[in-house]
């Protein structure tokens, strides 16, 4: 069993309800291998935490940018609370060390792990909310995410990678990028797509994802990095 007291020290918060904290770190796959554990997985807490996260970030952005229209605020919020952003915050908190996963899931270090971390981060918010209320959850979110806001706005990180690549490619080279599926693998319910991002005949990068759209975004993000854009 992982030592969650060490995580509480790192967090700077001690839970009244220790089971809430344990549940936040418990992935569904762990219970499949530990049926006698008498535990609950973290999906209900994640559902609650997601709603709290959205409200806290919405409230913050509404106050911070009084002149911005709803569309801009929605884009900023999406960039702050997306899987990459909150998985990064979870990683910096060291949450990876405390996850309760099946043996199979514990070997995965790719995008699947990023999603598990993001979900655990939201579940932790839900646990904090239930243990101590809105203000405690709000302080946690503020400490972990609000510092990213200026970067998101200044570097246009709120703009999705495909839109950003298209805008810069048209501006610099007068060409609209195209995307091509290079390969796909896996059963119908769990496919992985490999997509190439092209400017003309030049392949800038390839991206991977569970859908064509996700793979295209990944390819566009890597193309931006490859071009130094």
Structure confidence by residue, pLDDT tens digits, 176-206: 999 999 999 888 777 889 999 999 999 999 9
| 28 burial level (CB within 10 Å; 0-12, 13-18, 19+) | middle
Q: Which one is catalytic: 22, 50, 105, 131?
A: 50
Whether residue 50 lies in the annotated active site: yes
CB burial of residue 22 (10 Å; 0-12, 13-18, 19+): buried
User: 161-227: which CATH number, 3.40.50.720, 3.30.379.10, 3.40.640.10, 3.30.160.20?
Assistant: 3.30.160.20
Which of the residues 22, 88, 105, 122 is marked catalytic? 122
Q: Is the pLDDT of residue 101 over 70?
A: yes
**Active-site residue, 3 included:** no
Burial class (CB in 10 A: 0-12, 13-18, 19+), 129: buried
pLDDT of residue 114: 85
For β-strands 192-199 and 178-185, DSSP reports them as antiparallel
Is 34 a known ligand-binding residue?
Answer: no
The ranges of the chain annotated as CATH 3.30.160.20 are: 161-227
- What pTM did the predictor assign? 0.73
122 is in an annotated binding site: yes
What's the chain's average pLDDT? 90
Note the pLDDT of residue 36: 65
Confidence of residue 9 (pLDDT cuts 50, 70, 90): very high
Q: What is the CATH number of domain 4-154?
A: 1.10.1520.10
Task: Determine if residue 96 is labeled as part of a ligand binding site.
Answer: no
């Amino acid at each position: 069993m992982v030592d969650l007291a060490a995580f509480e020290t790192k967090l700077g918060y001690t839970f009244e309800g220790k089971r809430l904290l344990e549940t936040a770190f418990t992935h569904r796959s762990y219970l499949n291998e530990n049926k006698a554990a008498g535990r609950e997985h973290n999906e209900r807490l994640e559902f609650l935490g997601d709603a709290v996260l959205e409200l806290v970030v919405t409230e913050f952005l509404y106050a911070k940018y009084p002149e911005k229209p709803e569309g801009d605020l929605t884009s900023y919020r999406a960039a702050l609370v997306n899987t990459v952003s909150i998985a990064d915050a979870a990683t910096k908190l060291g949450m990876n060390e405390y996850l309760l996963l099946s043996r199979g899931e514990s070997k995965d270090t790719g995008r699947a792990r990023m999603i598990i971390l993001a979900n655990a981060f939201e579940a932790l918010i839900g646990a904090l909310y239930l243990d101590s209320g809105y203000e405690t959850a709000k302080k946690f979110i503020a400490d972990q995410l609000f510092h990213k806001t200026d970067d998101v706005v200044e570097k246009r990180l709120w703009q999705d990678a495909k839109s950003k690549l298209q805008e810069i490619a048209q501006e610099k080279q007068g060409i609209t990028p195209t995307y091509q599926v290079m390969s796909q693998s896996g059963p119908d319910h769990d496919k992985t797509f490999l997509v190439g991002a092209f400017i003309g005949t030049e392949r800038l990068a390839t991206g991977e994802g569970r859908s064509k759209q996700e793979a295209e975004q990944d390819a566009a993000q890597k193309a931006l990095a490859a071009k130094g854009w």
